[in-house]
């Protein structure tokens, strides 16, 4: 699953906001919706009324969503099998040019021709709100029949709906409740009972008087699932929602440095770790597992004087709580890891900038950098999972001074090491695999 940019009694959840009016649910009649900006399809526009007697499945996706792309071969196969009785229509809000280039690569690599709506208007999200993709909406005979994950799109499920008008699938719902991230996760105030003139009176507590608190809870809200992403800073503090144990430690001890997560700079040395590990669970299965007490949320508020120490406070909180309850603690340590190291080839500095207005232009198959730090090269490659394989997450290290200004253009798959290296070699640069000693987060059994 992909997300759109991932413990105290008597505390009230204070910022769950109901979805906006206009949302379509199971059984609702679907109004006329017109899709334009369609590529790889026989018509330039599609209307929902064109499918009153056919099955239309809207498959919300994005070029950065690996599970979405992994489902393309299945979608193509099912479309060919059922022919004009159905249309599985991918829908993305991404730019037409970016998506067109991306799908050309998919066609070249997998011989797939995938039709899709691009530049989809935000109004479609009013009808079908969601926070996690793939997100699949089944529309049949003018009404919403189901909202599911892509794994429910199977030959048997489609056939049964078309022949018997029966659909027995697990529904997906991640748009009913949303967290208002502009405020605190928790209402930590309380009402005090006081005696005034011999009468007992409830006096509301002034929450502005709260100067410092930290909270660890289990599940915050089941609809904001995922394996743990920082939700930002709330006032002078930290907020992290619905996080598996190891990610909670990772964010705390890395001090929310994204490279620790994208490079999986985490070492687990816990004997009985299986019960804390999602073990490949995805989507609704992951949500079920997390809602069985396997997810945590954390919030901290500190005065301005302690803001620079907020991560140290969080680290101490986690070690105190989990060290006592689960005998698990965390730390930052130096460890040797296999890395992708950016190195200079020969003595040339052809990558160095010639000056001009700074420019950063990035898509999955094109990167142009002008007069910006080499750190932007690493960040953009990391963003497109350049360092990730099925077996391993490489850390990325640069032997080039990280503040060196560069002019670099890459035309190729930014997630493919060989393609990236071929492009970089013209600038006298290359990534090589080497062991390096780097900082990692270690969680281990408390001794």
133 lies in a domain? Answer: yes
Whole-number Å distance between alpha carbons of 228 and 260:
13
Does residue 90 share a domain with residue 120? yes
In this predicted model, what pLDDT tens digit does every residue of 206-245 receive, in sequence order?
A: 666 778 889 898 865 544 444 344 444 445 788 887 788 8
Specify if 196 maps to a domain: no
Could you say which of 139, 164, 189 is where a domain stops? 164
Same domain, 37 and 143: yes
Do residues 436 and 358 share a domain? Answer: yes
The reply to whether 31 and 138 lie within a common domain is: yes
What's the farthest any 2 CA atoms get from each other in the chain? 88
Domain span holding position 52? 20-164
What ranges in 8-141 are assigned the alpha helix state H? 66-70, 72-82, 96-110, 123-127
Check whether residue 147 and residue 233 sit in a common domain.
Answer: no
Q: Would you call 79 helix, strand, or coil by DSSP?
A: helix
Rounded to two decimals, the pTM is 0.69
Determine the pLDDT at residue 158.
95
Dihedral pair phi/psi, residue 257, rounded to 5°: -80, 120
Taking only the tens place, the pLDDT of each residue in 33-52 is: 888 889 999 888 888 888 88
CATH number of the domain that 160 lies in? 3.40.30.10
Instruction: Give the chain's domain count.
Output: 3
Same domain, 37 and 123: yes
Three-class secondary structure of residue 342 per DSSP: strand
Percentage, residues of the chain above pLDDT 90: 40
For residue 232, the surrounding DSSP H or E stretch is strand 229-232
Highest averaged pLDDT of the listed ranges 60-69, 197-206, 350-359, 384-393: 350-359
Considering the domain architecture, whether residues 260 and 281 belong to the same structural domain is answered as: yes
Q: How many CB atoms lie within 10 A of CB 269?
A: 10
Asked if residue 211 and residue 317 are part of one domain, the reply reads yes
Model confidence over 153-187: pLDDT tens digits?
Answer: 999 999 999 999 888 888 887 644 555 555 565 55
State the pLDDT confidence band at 256, using cuts at 50, 70 and 90. Answer: confident
Rg from Cα positions in the chain:
25
List all residues 6 or more positions away from 149 whose beta carbon is below 8 Å from its beta carbon: 1, 134, 135, 136, 170, 172, 283, 284
Q: Are residues 144 and 24 in the same domain?
A: yes
């Amino acid at each position: 699953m992909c997300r759109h940019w991932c413990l105290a009694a008597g505390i009230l959840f204070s910022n769950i906001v109901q979805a906006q009016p206009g949302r379509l649910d199971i059984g609702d009649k679907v109004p006329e919706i017109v899709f334009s900006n369609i590529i790889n399809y026989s018509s330039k526009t599609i209307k929902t009324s064109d499918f009153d007697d056919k099955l239309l499945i809207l498959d919300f996706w994005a070029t950065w969503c690996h599970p979405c792309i992994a489902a393309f071969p299945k979608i193509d196969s099912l479309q060919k099998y059922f022919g004009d009785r159905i249309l599985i229509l991918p829908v993305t809000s991404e730019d037409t040019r970016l998506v067109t280039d991306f799908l050309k690569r998919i066609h070249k690599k997998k011989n797939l021709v995938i039709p899709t709506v691009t530049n989809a208007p935000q109004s479609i999200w009013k009808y079908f709100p969601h926070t996690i993709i793939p997100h699949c909406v089944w529309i049949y005979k003018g009404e919403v029949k189901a909202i599911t994950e892509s794994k429910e799109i199977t030959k048997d499920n489609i056939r049964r709906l078309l022949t018997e008008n029966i659909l027995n699938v697990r529904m997906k719902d991640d748009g009913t409740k949303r967290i208002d991230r502009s405020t605190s996760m928790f209402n930590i105030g309380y009402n005090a009972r006081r005696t005034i003139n011999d009468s007992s009176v409830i006096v509301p507590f002034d929450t502005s008087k709260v100067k410092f608190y930290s909270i660890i809870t289990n599940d915050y809200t089941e609809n904001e699932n995922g394996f743990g992403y920082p939700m930002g800073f709330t006032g002078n503090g930290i907020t992290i929602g619905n996080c598996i144990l190891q990610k909670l430690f990772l964010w705390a001890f890395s001090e929310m440095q994204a490279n620790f997560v994208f490079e999986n700079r985490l070492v687990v040395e816990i004997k009985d770790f299986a019960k804390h590990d999602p073990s490949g669970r995805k989507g609704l299965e992951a949500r079920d597992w997390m809602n069985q007490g396997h997810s945590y949320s954390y919030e901290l508020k500190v005065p301005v004087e302690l803001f620079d120490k907020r991560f140290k406070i969080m680290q101490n909180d986690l070690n105190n709580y989990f060290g006592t309850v689960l005998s698990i603690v965390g730390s930052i340590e130096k460890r040797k890891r296999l890395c992708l190291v950016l190195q200079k080839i020969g003595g040339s500095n052809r990558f160095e900038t010639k000056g001009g207005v700074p420019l950063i232009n990035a898509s999955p198959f094109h990167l142009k950098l002008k007069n910006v730090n080499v750190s932007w090269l690493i960040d953009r490659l990391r963003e497109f999972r350049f360092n990730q394989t099925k077996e391993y997450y490489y850390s990325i290290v640069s032997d080039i001074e990280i503040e060196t200004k560069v002019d670099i253009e890459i035309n190729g798959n930014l997630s493919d090491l060989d393609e990236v290296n071929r492009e970089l070699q013209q600038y006298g640069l290359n990534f090589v695999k080497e062991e390096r000693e780097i900082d990692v987060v270690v969680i281990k059994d408390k001794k």
